[in-house]
Amino acid sequence: MGGIAVRRKWEPLTTEQIGKIHLASLEILNTVGVKVKSERALDLLKEGGAEVDFGDQVARIPSALVEEAVRKAPSSFTLYGRRREYDMKMEDDRVYFGAGGTAIYVIDLDGNRRLATDKDLADTTRLVDALPNVDFTAGLVNPHEIDQDILYPSMWVTLLNSTEKNVLHGIRGAEMTRDIAEMGSLIAGGEQDFRKRPFITCCCNVVSPLQHEKLMIESAIESAIQGIPTTMSPETQSGATGPATLAGTIALFNAEVLSGITIVQLARPGAPILYGCVASVMDMKSCNYAAGAIELGLLSAAATQMAHHYHVPVYATGGMSDSKVSDIQSGYERAMQMIIVALTGANYLHDAAGLLEHSLTFSYEQLVVDDEIIAMVSRVLEGIRVDETTIALDLIKKVGFHNYIAERHTAENFQKEHYLPRLSDRSAWDKWHKKGAKSLNLVAREKAKELLRTHFPEPIDKETNARLAKIVARWKREP
Amino acid sequence: MTNEILVEIKRSVTNGQAEETTRLTENAIQQSTDPLEILNQALLPAVRELGAKFEQGEAFITDLIMAANALKAGYSILRPRLSPKQEEKVGRFLIGTVEGDIHDIGKEIVRNMLEAYGFEVEDLGVEVPAKTFVEMVMKHKPNILGMSALLTTTMVNQRRVIEDLKKAGIRENVKVMIGGAPTTEEWATEIGADAHGIEAVETVKKAIQLLGKVGSTS
């Protein structure tokens, strides 16, 4: 499990630069403002002292209100699992890694790309549950066969049945949030139990530039009221929905996040909220969101610094690729992104496992490979221990010009100091060839199958599931 | 002399220089250059060629849109001097993002491209209810209706609109294209759309192809 506290962070922005960006964001909020497509949110802002035009649905937020909100937002809170060992402390520079989603396709266990199903949602989630280095999960894939009216509640039920780790997913509005909270209470065995240890996180996105969509912001507000932590997460595309210059995109999404934190803290002061960032660049040749761009890493690194500046835990992104398959491109794009973001001390580092094709496809085998990448990045975060045991001066004196291979010190320490890969192949050519000369994604695929054969989370009982199904049925609409 | 100025106009469009294009076009008009020549030998080819490069991955969307804007700037100078027949558009396109969805960057790119390639585009904006799409089809009588959706939960509205067009008895009068990141060819087929648009220039070409079929029972 993750939660390593980074000791020596990488900080691409200087304090002065953070200050400049912060002031720019405040000016954006004072002058341009944000478009908030929700009466409820606009009322909160108006009552809080913002200048609100209800006709245009634009709110200009004064700096004092923003700064007050940032002060109220908690700097430390827990995202719970249904098992205590899966609890994640969101604070300081402690880093957890997890899977992210809303993909449309999967690359399945036969290596075929096809539209995702509810079974895929269950299986990919269960696979996350089985992997030791993936700390949390999300609505990984959209089941294409589920009717869109009940899609989200149905996904929540599948998700919660398939893992005991914390689940993050979107919720379409306030009423649905109350229903999802009810689901959580049923599973936890009571409302008090659920409120004490909520194992659900609401994913709220901001639409760049500067727009809060109705159902999103209302789900964030209602989540705050229900005691469910929420993200506030823009997915700006530099060059398209944000300036082509990275600092401008950062100032923009920073303003967006600050406006969202303000709204949520007005709804319920002290509500746990994650400063979010899924920003990247728009690829100017394909017009696609460049999920594998190294700038995605830079932007999430900057977001982490801004969040730390505000003492608010951060929901950052790192570990995606634009490749359509688990190939070389997939390897280097995701690994480089993940490591630079992790080194800044991002608390909730998501989309770090499984995604391909600019986040449109979720791959079983890639998920397994990413567990390994996360473990390697975690090893970097652990750093180098320097003390008497590790400098091993007495040992060095004793061994002199011989070797260390059979020393007790070696036997006792190598597994603590060296990451032992579970997937990466280090064998000699002959041996590798004898084993079938398999490319790593095929090895990962076999491992995925093996894990799915053997690993099952603690089941939710039939009676509770029947009640969950009734909640889902509330959302059926007449054709 | 005429050739030189046409080359200059073409270059300024290619470079996305709207003000320069306006100035050069005005000069050309003053020097009695045929407006139709300016349109067909300078303005339009500039965008077409850049569009072809874009399709091959050799040009950037931002340059293509700036060129489209430069074309429009030049075209606005020509327009009063073109006869109604000469002014005739390739087709009429009604576009919008579906109900419940405020995402529009993809729609904006497509709209720009359609206009650059000679379509008259009526943009209904975002969060357009199904009822409005149907009313506007009846009002504007476009050749093609295009709908964008970025969320899996709002995609369903693309199907709703097609069904409402059928109920209103006007489905046969218009071609329907759909697009947006979570949409697929399969989805387009499933809901009875006529085409699925994903890439900017490719979408325009599909739209042009559909024009050939408007009014037919295909």
| Chain A residues lying within 8 Å of B152, measured CB to CB | 102, 104, 142, 148, 151
Tokens of B138: 């009846």
Q: CB-based contact (8 Å) between B126 and chain A?
A: no
Please give, rounded to a whole number of angstroms, the shortest distance from the CA of B151 to a CA of chain A.
10
pLDDT of residue B214: 58
pLDDT of residue A393: 98
Q: CB-based contact (8 Å) between B182 and chain A?
A: yes
Predicted TM-score (pTM) of the model is 0.95
The answer to whether the CB atoms of A241 and B199 lie below 8 A apart is no
The answer to whether the CB atoms of A104 and B182 lie below 8 A apart is yes
Q: Which residues 306-345 of chain A have a CB within 8 Å of chain B?
A: none
Cis bond leading into A229, ω under 30°? no
Tokens of A199: 């194992």
List the single residue in B with minimal CA-CA distance to A37.
B102
pLDDT of residue A298: 98
The answer to whether the CB atoms of B61 and A241 lie below 8 A apart is no
At A86-96, the pLDDT tens digits run 999 999 999 99
Please give, rounded to a whole number of angstroms, the shortest distance from the CA of B24 to a CA of chain A.
29
Asked if B106 and B61 count as a contact pair (C-beta separation under 8 A), the reply is no
How many cross-chain Cβ pairs, A to B, lie less than 8 Å apart?
Answer: 48
List the single residue in A with minimal CA-CA distance to B185.
A115
Residue B79 gets which letter from DSSP? G
Question: In sequence order, which residues have a C-beta less than 8 Å from that of residue B81 and are 6 or more positions away?
Answer: B29, B35
Question: In sequence order, which residues have a C-beta less than 8 Å from that of residue B98 and are 6 or more positions away?
Answer: B127, B128, B130, B147, B148, B149, B154, B155, B157, B158, B161
Question: In sequence order, which residues have a C-beta less than 8 Å from that of residue A242 and are 6 or more positions away?
Answer: A208, A209, A236, A248, A249, A252, A253, A279
Nearest CB to B181; choose among A152, A211, A360:
A360
Q: CB-based contact (8 Å) between A284 and chain B?
A: yes
Q: CB-based contact (8 Å) between A245 and chain B?
A: no
The answer to whether the CB atoms of B106 and A172 lie below 8 A apart is no
Phi, psi of A329 (to 5 degrees): -60, -45
Each residue's pLDDT, cut to its tens digit, for chain B (218 residues) gives 568 999 999 999 999 999 999 999 999 999 999 999 999 999 999 999 999 999 999 999 999 999 999 999 999 999 999 888 877 789 999 999 999 999 999 999 999 999 989 999 999 999 999 999 999 999 999 999 999 999 988 999 999 999 999 999 999 999 999 999 889 999 999 999 999 998 889 999 999 999 986 554 43
Q: CB-based contact (8 Å) between B51 and chain A?
A: no
Please give, rounded to a whole number of angstroms, the shortest distance from the CA of B40 to a CA of chain A.
26
Please give, rounded to a whole number of angstroms, the shortest distance from the CA of B160 to a CA of chain A.
9
The answer to whether the CB atoms of B152 and A102 lie below 8 A apart is yes
Q: How many CA atoms lie within 13 A of A434 on its CB side?
A: 5
What is the CB neighbour count within 10 angstroms for residue A195?
15
pLDDT of residue B216: 46
Token look-up 């659920």 returns A194
Indicate which of A285, A361, A476, A478 best probes the interface with B, i.e. most B CBs within 10 Å of its own CB. Answer: A285
Q: Which residues of A336-345 are buried (b: 16+ CB within 10 A; e: fewer)?
A: ebbbbbbbbb
Residue A354 gets which letter from DSSP? S
Each residue's pLDDT, cut to its tens digit, for chain A (479 residues) gives 689 999 889 999 999 999 999 999 999 999 999 999 999 999 999 999 999 999 999 999 999 999 999 999 999 999 999 999 999 999 999 999 999 988 999 999 999 999 999 999 999 999 999 999 999 999 999 999 999 899 999 999 999 999 999 999 999 999 999 999 999 999 999 999 999 999 999 999 999 999 999 999 999 999 999 999 999 999 999 999 999 999 999 999 999 999 999 999 999 999 999 999 999 999 999 999 999 999 999 999 999 999 999 999 999 999 999 999 999 999 999 999 999 999 999 999 999 999 999 999 999 999 999 999 999 999 999 999 999 999 999 999 999 999 999 999 999 999 999 999 999 999 999 999 999 999 999 999 999 999 999 999 999 999 999 999 999 999 998 76
Q: CB-based contact (8 Å) between A149 and chain B?
A: yes
Nearest CB to A285; choose among B60, B100, B103:
B60
pLDDT of residue B84: 84
List the single residue in B with minimal CA-CA distance to A173.
B100
| Chain B residues lying within 8 Å of A115, measured CB to CB | 184, 186
pLDDT of residue B217: 44
The answer to whether the CB atoms of A215 and B100 lie below 8 A apart is yes
Nearest CB to A284; choose among B60, B100, B153:
B60
Q: CB-based contact (8 Å) between A280 and chain B?
A: no
Q: CB-based contact (8 Å) between B102 and chain A?
A: yes
Asked if A147 and A476 count as a contact pair (C-beta separation under 8 A), the reply is yes
The answer to whether the CB atoms of A287 and B153 lie below 8 A apart is no
The answer to whether the CB atoms of A115 and B105 lie below 8 A apart is no
The answer to whether the CB atoms of A287 and B200 lie below 8 A apart is yes
